[in-house]
Structure 1
């Protein structure tokens, strides 16, 4: 779409030129999109927290088992770009709602499959191979999940409330992570180590199946986004070949895709350092028992859960960029001192060093869901966001625990995680500089979206 056409779409001559959100429809959309994030991060939390048990069940070489289990975590992210390209471009061709219904069920099925997978003692080398295959299936479906949820909710939300409403997506993320962690903590407190190794570790994965069924039910009830439905016929991708669609999207959107990659890097490196690596770092490098380490992270995540929607609301008032920039600058200047504090080793210093990392994370978590899809026009939004988001997560986010663990192991330097966070902060500062402030603005190529008819009349009267 040309810039002139995009600008013309924003001109409002009458109320008919404005999209008015249906409050009941919007509530269903928030719930239906958040359930997928809950399922995704429930799985991530469970897998991350029982990595020592996964290592014992699926790998025979104890010296490399922990690193191999992190590789199982990383492999799901390495296939995400493939899933992102497939689901994202499909979502631009056939619509968002149908793709989201498929991905939530596929993701839950992969998680449930882990729960019934035999271990190394039963089927030998086939066990770790099948583990990696199931993680790849999860990664493939997840490639279209979070971006699809962001895109779908962004296109439903009123322009002036987009930050607040989209910040409910990370509520699903955080709630899923916390529930997974609490489930593991309860199991480890009530079952013996032998019971956990034998069968207890499987129980959290079984819960994914009913979660997926609930998610499918909610998403089948959703209606397609107004922005997607109101595209002009010449903008739609359904008449183009798949190859032409991909070429056209990347050729026209490569600059905002690069910005997207940088923004996602700063967000996800911080995210996976906190949730994916720090529990293991605490237990292996600081000799903190597994459950206390998990409890510290859960408390931090619970604090973030309380804050995230307030920051989303604030971003509608002061803009997304100031909040993101605050998080990026703090990563640069505070990461090294915070890891020195964490290395103090007692519970108080570890918590006081970990909490600010969580507060930096929430600066990105509260704003990026409402920012990333706005970088792109409607006809290419799902596909282009998926390319940028999933490439970044695969290369720099999901691999963060593996890279951090490997660098600490090979160098013996316990400050390596801090240096990785500093790098993420620098990339964030640069990316935010090149990003257009999206708060309060209409989506590219779309008419304004408002919360009620009164607001539409005021807009038309200007």
Structure 2
């Protein structure tokens, strides 16, 4: 009995997704705003860590207060993988838009609640316990937030502009830091240190409520991403039961089939976020506690650095659409290995201008990672498991990155060596370099399991021709391999007397 070969229909212009530009802009705005709110909280927490240490851990020494406050910051990272598992499965089953609406509600409420917690002097041990519970709720929601937002933007973006569009996601992160830092400086300068420690530190956390309402409105108004909707339509066409009861894929199965992509994801996330937390969460405390700058001066320097990062961020995303993502991962990693110690020499120079230069160099190297991460990660997994695979691997990796402020603060405190942050960055940069060398280039290619996506009809024609050219090249390569195998086969046959 002769088996019939399954034939695939030729690709036509109608198979290429044309992205609506207005919907794309709304998607980016909604995703970036939610990400900004997430990092607004992280920024505020890092900038007021010294105040939180005194409010919630008043009996400890200043150094221990700082470590305790930063440890409370790091603890939520332990539950982020659980959030990743929960929201990842929901995102692959019910869609990206619905999950992102849920995560922004949880983030806004938990951040707002931090501002309501009484001090240790008022309720004793319950104060740090309630702070930890609020941070754990944040960690659970954030477990699905960044991954979902990155996927949302990637699935809405044309193939040739995915780097530029994805860069706006971390633009939102940096903008959230700038807003958080600016609010802290403004409130501190208006009310003075005494009133800021008494109650002024609560105000930045209350701002999360209006930000959350705006973000929820924007996300709720959006349609599902084209890639996920096409996936759903295909499932409905092939198997109507599958759309209501999609097959469950365990993380073990994902790891067995996509282990290379998972390792690349882990390497990029660790390299990016360790540098991120080092520069934007730990450095304000390092400048004030270890280098004895006033809190306001240290924060102002970091604000200026972050404003500079806002200009660099989209430029790197745009450039990556032309030269690829790999050069930035490799270049940023090499830069950290070579320049981490020189940068901290400048930071420890006690000269404001040199401190600024040292931080600025680290910030540009950080931009090399953040400018491309959101466009790289979603491209590594197919549509049906993209949210689950990315959310779980991202949040497992973030366990390492999230410990950065606490680990580095402890290393500096226990060794007395002010260059420990530089050594820490160098070790992480090696991970980034190895990842960059082994990762596959994703620029200007369709997402895995999705058809090509274009900005307009003209670009769709160009993409279709490129697809045809790639198919022709692959066929030629396969024919060459077949010819080579035929020659090898004939050589072996010639050596055997009974084969012809």
TM-score, normalised by the number of residues in structure 1: 0.95
Residue 60 of structure 1 and its aligned partner are, at CA, apart by 3.1
Deviation at 1:254, TM superposition (A): 2.3
Answer with 82-91 or 129-138: which moved more.
Answer: 82-91
Matched, 1:209 2:215: no
The residue correspondences of 1:231-250 to structure 2 (distance < 5 A) are: 231=231, 232-233=234-235, 239-240=245-246, 242=248, 244-250=249-255
Aligned to 2:427: 423
Over the residues paired in the alignment, what is the CA RMSD in angstroms? 1.6
Distance 1:122 1:133 in 2: 18
In 1, the alpha carbon distance for the partners of 2:464 and 2:307 equals 42
What does residue 124 of structure 2 align with?
A: 124
**How many residues end up aligned between the 2 structures?**
452
**1:136 maps to 2:141:** no
Distance 1:365 1:459 in 2: 27
CA displacement 1:358-380 (0-9 Å, x = unmatched): 00000001001000111111111
Residue 367 of structure 1 aligns to a residue in which SS?
helix
Residues 21-63 of structure 1: CA distance to partner in whole angstroms, max 9, x if unpaired?
0011111101110111110011111111111111111113222
**1:58 counterpart = 2:56:** yes
Question: Matched residue of 1:439: which SS?
Answer: coil
Structure 2 counterparts to residues 130-169 of structure 1, below 5 A = 130-169=130-169
Unaligned runs of 5+ in 1: 1-7
Q: CA deviation at 1:241?
A: 5.9
Distance 1:151 1:281 in 2: 34
2:409 equivalent in structure 1: 405
Give yes or no for contact 1:56–1:65 (8 Å, CA) kept in 2.
Answer: yes
Equivalent positions of 1:368-387 (< 5 A) are: 368-387=373-392
Contact 1:33 1:169 in 2 (8 A): yes
Structure 2, unaligned runs of 5 or more = 1-6, 469-500
Task: Work out whether residues 257 and 387 of structure 1, in 8 Å CA contact, stay in contact via their aligned partners in 2.
Answer: no
Deviation string, structure 1 residues 90-126 (Cα, Å, up to 9, x no partner): 1011110000000011101110000111111111101
- 1:12 touches 1:459 (CA, 8 Å); kept in 2? no
Q: Is 1:38 matched up with 2:36? A: yes
Query: Which range is displaced more, 362-371 or 164-173?
Result: 164-173
Alignment of 1:241-280 (within 5 A): 242=248, 244-280=249-285
Is 1:317 aligned to residue 311 of structure 2? no
Q: Is the 8 A contact 1:89 1:245 kept in 2?
A: no
How much has 1:434 moved relative to structure 2?
A: 1.6
Structure-2 residue corresponding to 1:4: none
Counterparts of 1:58-137 in structure 2, within 5 Å, are 58-63=56-61, 64-137=64-137
Shift of 1:13: 2.4
Determine the C-alpha separation between the residues in 2 that align with 1:321 and 1:458: 24
Change in 2 beyond 3 A, CA 1:457/1:400 = same
Q: Tell me the TM-score normalised to structure 2 length.
A: 0.88
Q: C-alpha distance in 1, partners of 2:111/2:134?
A: 8
Partner of 2:444: 440
